[in-house]
Structure 1
């Protein structure tokens, strides 16, 4: 029964459904829900820092229902994306247009990219493929090579594009992280192929495959729905990407690993990621907010991630912290003070 709690992620598609079938201010329901209702609920509800014991962890680790919930997000995401293309084609009212694009964009971030991230860490190739398809719906497939082989290796160091520096503006970070992670993804794939005596221009270069997939997706939307709808899709995908980068920003803001006497960075510890045990955000994002344990063991399934006392804690859940990051003076005042306390 514990696994069924994570069905809460489908509350997001429910709000998108209402957005697509309504008009006026209600088309912004997804935005209101994710960045209004969820942060408010997290603020008032008691945090949940409880971990499974060893016996429970083994049981829940092997419970296939947790993975089934992840798999179910794929047809849901694809269905809503296709529906979006049809509904946005017939949307003429500016308010409805913005509301529905924002709804699809948030779903791209919460469902497409976040679940794609979880499945992308799995060792099973089929699960990785499902993750790649989910990331494709937000045009963010390069995330996987960089995140797994770059971010997890360089996290909390100046070499990591996805680690926000102290006093770095979110809006600068958006551009730096996205561009540099894309470049690094190509470098990682080129290096991987070079070690097996293959050239970068090889069918096993994932970045080439991803690029072709992006071109096919955008070309198909253009062919069947036209230029305007393709631009609306690009706007929704951009919202999803900005949500990802905002999460990246808050997850490691200002945290740095120390170097030893040999000039090497210390091993990644539970102190190198910001965490949150706020209930609603934790369930909707599949325990993403227990981020320290995720970095300590990237292949660990979301349901058994632990909350540890040495992990630095955010004052509220991820959605609330994302809102605060949009206002740099408030963010710096709050988080720089917490950095001093670590």
Structure 2
């Protein structure tokens, strides 16, 4: 498969030709936007039915609905042909399908904080609040995958969008470690995000999460040292990504009160667990 640079060179040298191939799933990709809108949909469903089970829509969709649909639909063996790649790169529809995840993601986060704080006269019991936390955490976990896609792009604005997507979970160092660490060391003992033969998911979680953090900091420190810049500065992509999380949480706590802090931390932990579980399964020996 050609690299992104190769595609750009081909596009610069000749106009992109519209291929005969058509993406039959083109508009199906928009179903991905169902996930970040789960909180307003859950709120509306609870208001309409009085059933608190809808606060658990995230776990139900991700661990029941999607696996069942995946089983019923079966494997997708169709890939776009080589001749369509340059055209797909130029089609902004797919980029916007990714961009739109972020405003929906933060709409759900803000609405959840409002609900946790008792907004609108909604009184969430412990079970309902936990269900909402798991739903928001699921949205945050998928947002890390959105950040993964945006972080691979060459455009600086898209890379900043990647950091914004990661701010909800406080996992901004993923932007550095995944692109410059994991891809260079995948499936080697040096890669914290590659699970080892016989390693439990619990052991992997701690090794991957803390190992990824250490690796990201080391990568940024070396990069800045080469540029004769200080590691402890906002030029450090780990620190400026974490600063976004600090600013986000500070605003949410100022607006909705400190009582939402346990739920904020809980949803972030759920999002990180979702990512690392996927990493574990993807690279399990």
TM-score, normalization by structure 2: 0.84
For the Cα contact (< 8 Å) 2:37–2:105, is it kept in 1? no
- Residue in 1 that maps onto 2:87: 59
Q: Once the two structures are superposed, what CA deviation does each residue of 1:31-75 show, in whole Å capped at 9, x if it has no partner?
A: 111110111121222211111122223322221100011111111
Aligned-residue RMSD, C-alpha: 1.5
> 2: CA distance between counterparts of 1:203 and 1:132?
13
For the Cα contact (< 8 Å) 2:208–2:276, is it kept in 1? yes
> 2: CA distance between counterparts of 1:129 and 1:10?
20
Query: Is 1:200–2:228 an aligned residue pair?
Result: no
> 2: CA distance between counterparts of 1:202 and 1:27?
41
* Structure 2 gap ranges (5+): 1-22
For the Cα contact (< 8 Å) 2:167–2:242, is it kept in 1? no
For the Cα contact (< 8 Å) 1:178–1:245, is it kept in 2? yes
Query: Is 1:174–2:202 an aligned residue pair?
Result: no
> 2: CA distance between counterparts of 1:126 and 1:14?
24
Aligned equivalent of 2:135, options 97, 100, 103: 103
> 1: CA distance between counterparts of 2:110 and 2:102?
12
Q: Once the two structures are superposed, what CA deviation does each residue of 1:231-286 show, in whole Å capped at 9, x if it has no partner?
A: 111111111111010111111111xxxxxxxxxxxxxxxxxxxxxxxxxxxxxxxx
- Residue in 2 that maps onto 1:237: 268
- How much does 1:86 deviate? 0.4
Query: Is 1:33–2:40 an aligned residue pair?
Result: no
- How much does 1:14 deviate? 4.2
> 2: CA distance between counterparts of 1:247 and 1:124?
27
For the Cα contact (< 8 Å) 1:116–1:132, is it kept in 2? yes
Q: Once the two structures are superposed, what CA deviation does each residue of 1:154-209 show, in whole Å capped at 9, x if it has no partner?
A: 11001001000011110111111111111111111000011112221233111222
- Residue in 2 that maps onto 1:89: 117
- Residue in 1 that maps onto 2:28: 5
Counting only pairs closer than 5 Å after superposition, residues 304-315 of structure 1 correspond to structure 2 as none
For the Cα contact (< 8 Å) 2:146–2:162, is it kept in 1? yes
Moved over 6 A (4+): none
Q: Secondary structure at the match of 1:116?
A: helix
- Residue in 2 that maps onto 1:318: none
TM-score, normalization by structure 1: 0.71
For the Cα contact (< 8 Å) 1:109–1:243, is it kept in 2? yes
Aligned equivalent of 1:223, options 247, 254, 259: 254
Query: Is 1:126–2:153 an aligned residue pair?
Result: no
Q: Secondary structure at the match of 1:6?
A: helix
> 2: CA distance between counterparts of 1:11 and 1:220?
26
Q: Secondary structure at the match of 2:100?
A: helix
For the Cα contact (< 8 Å) 1:164–1:249, is it kept in 2? yes
> 1: CA distance between counterparts of 2:243 and 2:95?
28
Change (3 A) 1:108 1:47: same
- Residue in 2 that maps onto 1:155: 186
For the Cα contact (< 8 Å) 2:56–2:131, is it kept in 1? yes
Question: Whose helix proportion is higher, 1 or 2?
Answer: 2
Query: Is 1:141–2:141 an aligned residue pair?
Result: no
> 1: CA distance between counterparts of 2:202 and 2:73?
30
Counting only pairs closer than 5 Å after superposition, residues 248-327 of structure 1 correspond to structure 2 as 248-254=279-285
The number of aligned residues is 253
